[in-house]
C-alpha cells in the first residue's frame, strides 16, 4: 500500500509505502501531482461536530460515526473527543458513550483517547468561559478515577485550573498514570502556574481564551504561559477566538515546535447557522461562524475545521506550509507523548495521511484522509 504527494517539508513529490500500519519507506517520485501529503492531522479538542454533541450521553452510535467521517473530510485522521464541565453522572455518561463508540464503531479507532476539560477550573466569569458555573468544583483523585473507569481507561488529556488547593497532588497522580495535563480556564498566579508545571503539567488549553476580557498588561496568566518554554500551547486559529495579531505573536512565542492547532469545535461545526446543544446548554451558530451561548452570548467553542485552521496558521502567522501542518501533526503527537506520531513523513511513523491541495485564494482543499490500523 502506498500514497503519493508533495512533501511540504522538502517540496519534493514522494511515494510513501506502508506496512503493518507504519511508514515502511519514503522515496522520491516522478509522478506529476499538485496535491500535498502530510501525516494525518490530529485534533486534541473536539466537543462535537456535524450536529453531534459528544457531551450528550445519548448521542447515537451511527451519528457519532458520521461525525468522524465528516471530520476526516476536513483532514482529521485522529481526534480526542472532549467532555466539558457538567455533573458527575453526565460527564461519566458521556465518557461511557464515547468509549463504547470507540469500541464498536468501524471508524471508532479515530478516537485516540478522550479529553476531559473541567470541571476543575476557575469558577470566575471570564476564565470559566462557557462552562456552567454550578458544576465547577475542586479536583480530586477519586473523581478522576471515576472518569477513567467510565472511559475504559482512555482519558488521555485533562484540562484544569491549577489555582485549586489540591491541584498539584491531582496533577502528579494523573501524570503518573499516563495522562497529559493541560492548564486552562484558569485565574492562576505565576507561582501557581509554575507549581503546576513542576507537578507535571505540559500544555496550555486554547491559550488566550477562557480568560478575562481585561488582564494586567504584564503580570497575567496568558503571558506567564506564553513565556514558559516547557508548555505546549493549544491555539484556536479561527480569527474569532484569537485576533490574527495575537495568533501571530503566540505562534512566534511558542515557535513552530511548541504550538498545537486545535479546533475546539462544537456540534454546529460544519452545519448551517441555527440552535444546537453543548451538553445541557443551548448554543447558536451565527452566520459569521461564531458560536455563542444563547443565555449569555459568550463564545462557546467554535465552528472551525482543521483544514481552515492550518490555512489560517499560514495566513495569520506567516508560517510555511510545512510548519503549519506540523502544528496539526508532529507537534500534537509530541504534546501527547506518542512517539509514532511525533515525526513527519518518516519510517516507523504511524501510517495516517492527509492529502490536500493549496487553492489560489489561500485555502486548503482536502482530497482524502487515509488511515491504516496501527
For the chain, helix, strand, coil in percent to 5 are: 30, 25, 45
What are the CA-CA distances from residue 93 to residues 36, 86, 152, 261 (Å)? 40, 10, 12, 28
What was the pLDDT predicted at 374?
56
What is the pLDDT of the chain when averaged over all its residues? 97
- Strand pairing report for 259-261 and 274-278: unpaired
What was the pLDDT predicted at 187?
98
Q: In the structure, what pLDDT confidence band is assigned to residue 372 with cuts at 50, 70 and 90? A: confident
Q: In the structure, what pLDDT confidence band is assigned to residue 355 with cuts at 50, 70 and 90? A: very high
- Over residues 42-96, the pLDDT tens digits come to 999 999 999 999 999 999 999 999 999 999 999 999 999 999 999 999 999 999 9
Is the pLDDT at 40 greater than 80, yes or no? Answer: yes
- Over residues 235-281, the pLDDT tens digits come to 999 999 999 999 999 999 998 899 999 999 999 999 999 999 999 99
What was the pLDDT predicted at 1?
86
Mean pLDDT of all residues in 304-315: 98
Nearest-5° Cα angle at 144, 89 to 228: 125
- Over residues 325-342, the pLDDT tens digits come to 999 999 999 999 999 999
Mean pLDDT of all residues in 89-108: 98
Residue 24: how many other CB atoms lie within 10 Å: 15
What are the CA-CA distances from residue 302 to residues 182, 269, 293, 362, 366 (Å)? 19, 7, 11, 21, 20
Q: Report which of 310, 309, 306, 271 is spatially closest to residue 291, judged by C-alpha positions.
A: 271
Is the pLDDT at 373 greater than 80, yes or no? Answer: no
Q: Report which of 183, 249, 239, 245 is spatially closest to residue 211, judged by C-alpha positions.
A: 183
What are the CA-CA distances from residue 323 to residues 71, 140, 226, 345 (Å)? 22, 38, 19, 13
Q: Which residue has the cell 461511557?
A: 96
Query: What is the rounded CA–CA span in Å between residue 150 and residue 135?
Result: 18
Q: In the structure, what pLDDT confidence band is assigned to residue 150 with cuts at 50, 70 and 90? A: very high
Is the pLDDT at 181 greater than 60, yes or no? Answer: yes
User: What percent of the chain has pLDDT above 70?
Assistant: 100
Mean pLDDT of all residues in 270-297: 97
For residues 5 and 295, the answer to whether their CB atoms sit within 8 Å is no
Q: What is the DSSP string of 33-46?
A: --EEEEEPEEEEEE
Sign of the alpha-carbon torsion through 54, 55, 61, 63: negative
Is the pLDDT at 14 greater than 80, yes or no? Answer: yes
Question: Residue 344 carries which DSSP code?
Answer: S
Q: Report which of 240, 262, 237 is spatially closest to residue 159, judged by C-alpha positions.
A: 262
Mean pLDDT of all residues in 286-299: 96
- Over residues 114-145, the pLDDT tens digits come to 999 999 999 999 999 999 999 999 999 999 99
Query: What is the rounded CA–CA span in Å between residue 64 and residue 15?
Result: 33
pTM of this prediction?
0.97
Residue 352: how many other CB atoms lie within 10 Å: 25
Residue 246: burial class (beta carbons within 10 Å; 0-12, 13-18, 19+): middle
Amino acid at each position: 500500500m502506498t500514497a503519493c504527494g508533495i512533501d511540504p517539508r522538502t517540496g519534493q513529490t514522494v511515494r510513501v509505502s506502508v506496512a503493518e500500519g507504519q511508514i515502511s519507506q519514503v522515496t522520491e517520485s516522478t509522478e506529476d501531482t499538485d496535491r500535498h501529503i502530510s501525516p494525518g492531522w490530529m485534533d486534541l479538542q473536539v466537543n462535537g461536530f456535524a450536529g453531534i454533541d459528544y457531551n450528550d450521553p445519548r448521542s447515537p452510535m451511527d451519528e457519532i460515526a458520521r461525525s468522524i467521517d465528516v471530520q476526516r473530510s476536513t483532514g482529521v485522521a485522529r481526534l480526542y473527543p472532549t467532555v466539558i464541565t457538567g455533573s458527575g453522572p453526565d460527564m461519566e455518561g458521556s465518557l461511557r458513550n464515547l468509549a463504547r463508540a470507540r469500541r464498536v464503531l468501524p471508524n471508532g479507532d479515530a478516537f485516540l483517547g478522550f479529553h476531559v476539560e473541567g470541571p476543575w477550573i476557575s469558577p470566575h466569569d471570564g476564565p470559566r468561559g462557557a462552562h456552567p458555573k454550578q458544576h465547577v468544583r475542586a479536583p480530586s483523585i477519586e473523581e478522576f478515577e471515576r472518569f477513567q473507569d467510565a472511559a475504559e481507561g482512555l482519558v488521555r488529556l485533562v484540562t484544569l485550573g491549577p489555582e485549586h488547593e489540591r491541584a498539584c497532588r491531582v496533577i502528579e497522580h494523573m501524570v503518573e498514570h499516563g495522562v497529559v495535563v493541560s492548564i486552562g480556564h484558569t485565574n492562576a498566579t505565576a507561582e501557581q502556574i509554575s507549581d503546576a508545571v513542576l507537578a507535571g503539567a505540559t500544555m496550555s488549553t486554547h491559550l488566550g481564551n477562557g480568560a478575562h476580557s481585561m488582564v494586567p498588561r504584564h503580570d497575567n496568566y496568558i503571558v506567564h504561559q506564553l513565556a514558559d518554554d516547557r508548555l505546549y500551547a493549544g491555539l484556536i486559529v479561527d480569527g474569532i477566538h484569537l485576533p490574527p495579531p495575537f495568533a501571530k505573536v503566540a505562534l512566534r512565542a511558542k515557535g513552530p515546535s511548541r504550538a498545537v492547532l486545535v479546533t475546539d469545535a462544537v456540534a454546529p461545526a460544519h452545519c448551517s447557522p441555527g440552535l444546537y446543544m453543548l451538553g445541557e446548554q443551548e448554543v447558536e451558530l451565527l452566520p459569521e461562524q461564531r458560536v455563542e451561548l444563547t443565555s449569555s452570548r459568550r463564545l462557546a467553542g467554535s465552528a472551525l475545521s482543521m483544514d481552515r485552521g492550518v490555512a489560517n496558521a499560514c495566513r495569520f502567522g506567516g508560517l510555511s506550509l510545512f510548519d503549519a501542518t506540523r502544528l496539526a501533526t508532529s507537534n500534537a503527537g509530541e504534546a501527547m507523548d506518542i512517539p509514532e506520531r511525533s515525526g513527519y513523513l518518516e519510517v516507523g511513523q504511524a501510517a495516517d495521511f492527509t492529502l490536500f491541495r493549496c487553492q489560489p485564494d489561500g485555502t486548503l482543499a482536502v482530497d482524502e484522509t487515509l488511515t491504516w490500523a496501527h
